[in-house]
């Protein structure tokens, strides 16, 4: 499978497949494709896995597109202004991503629900208790809100991230929370009471415009109909 990502601020990943190759997507992710792509829909395994996908912000059912009879083309477009992040998943490289990040993947990638291990990180870190975990082997394409900035954290190296700006990370990265120091800073600084604290080793992918932030910025300009 080969791919290219085009367009901004609503990008699309265009994949070229050989006969027999398969692509997994969430419900409604297909934008256009060649006529030799055959679609099938299933729960992608056990009922538990299907429910896990639902809790992580995706549909209980997955669409699988199989290329038949020769080379084929399949395109999946982002549903929100931002970027599409391609990440290679391997047996030694599990990826954790924000809820609803999944766009498409190769057949060998498995998506499951991931729970924050620390209650504080789930309550106050901005990412919530429920995230998405990608295991197996193959490329996964993730939807990122706004622009992407990638960092590689060394062992013990830390990054303080504002609520909601963590888009994805390697599973080796630890997530915790850090309170904003100073009562005045916490109450009047506009940054909230807590930030997300990430500790390496591993890669992290940060996003510049979380959906809730964009919604809040647009709200004053949207008529309520009153």
Strand arrangement, sheet containing 202-207? 109-115, 130-136, 95-97, 166-170, 202-207, 148-153
List, in sequence order, every residue forming a beta bridge with 114; answer none if it has no partner.
Answer: 131
Q: What is the per-residue pLDDT for 224?
A: 56
Q: CB-based burial of residue 34 (10 Å sphere; 0-12 exposed, 13-18 middle, 19+ buried)?
A: middle
Q: Structurally, how many domains does the chain consist of?
A: 1
Residue 13 inside a domain? The answer is: yes
Q: What is the per-residue pLDDT for 185?
A: 43
CATH code, 36: 3.60.160.10
Domain range for 59 is 2-221
pLDDT tens for the chain, 226 residues long, are 999 999 988 999 999 999 999 999 988 899 999 999 999 987 665 555 555 555 545 566 789 999 999 999 999 999 889 999 999 999 999 999 998 899 999 999 999 888 766 544 444 444 456 899 999 999 999 999 999 999 999 999 999 998 789 999 999 999 998 876 644 444 444 455 678 899 999 999 999 988 767 766 667 777 655 4
Q: How many residues are recorded in the chain? A: 226
C-alpha distance from residue 67 to each of 90, 110, 141 (Å): 23, 19, 18
Q: What is the per-residue pLDDT for 125?
A: 45
Which DSSP helix (H) or strand (E) runs through 168? strand 166-170
Residue 226 inside a domain? The answer is: no
Cβ proximity of 75 and 14 under 8 Å = yes
SS (H, E, C) 187-219: HHCCCCCEEEEEECCEEEEEECCCHHHHHHHHH
Residue 33 inside a domain? The answer is: yes
């Amino acid at each position: 499978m080969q791919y290219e990502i085009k367009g901004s601020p609503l990008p699309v990943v265009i994949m070229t497949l050989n006969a027999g190759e398969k692509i997994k997507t969430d419900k409604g992710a297909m934008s256009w494709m060649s006529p030799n792509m055959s679609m099938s829909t299933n729960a992608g395994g056990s009922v538990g896995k299907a429910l896990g996908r639902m809790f992580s912000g995706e549909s209980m059912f997955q669409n699988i597109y199989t290329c038949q009879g020769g080379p084929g083309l399949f395109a999946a477009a982002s549903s929100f202004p931002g970027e599409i992040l391609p990440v290679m998943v391997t047996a030694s490289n599990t990826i954790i991503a924000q809820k609803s990040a999944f766009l498409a993947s190769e057949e060998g990638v498995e998506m499951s629900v991931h729970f924050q291990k620390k209650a504080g990180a789930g309550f106050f870190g901005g990412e919530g208790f429920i995230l998405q975990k990608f295991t197996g082997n193959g490329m996964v394409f993730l939807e990122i809100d706004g622009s992407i900035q990638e960092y590689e954290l060394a062992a013990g190296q830390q990054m303080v991230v504002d609520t909601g700006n963590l888009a994805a990370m390697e599973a080796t990265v630890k997530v915790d929370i850090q309170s904003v120091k100073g009562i005045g800073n916490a109450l009047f600084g506009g940054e909230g009471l807590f930030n997300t604290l990430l500790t390496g080793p591993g890669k992290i992918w940060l996003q510049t415009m979380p959906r809730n932030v964009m919604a809040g910025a647009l709200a004053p300009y949207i008529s309520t109909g009153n």
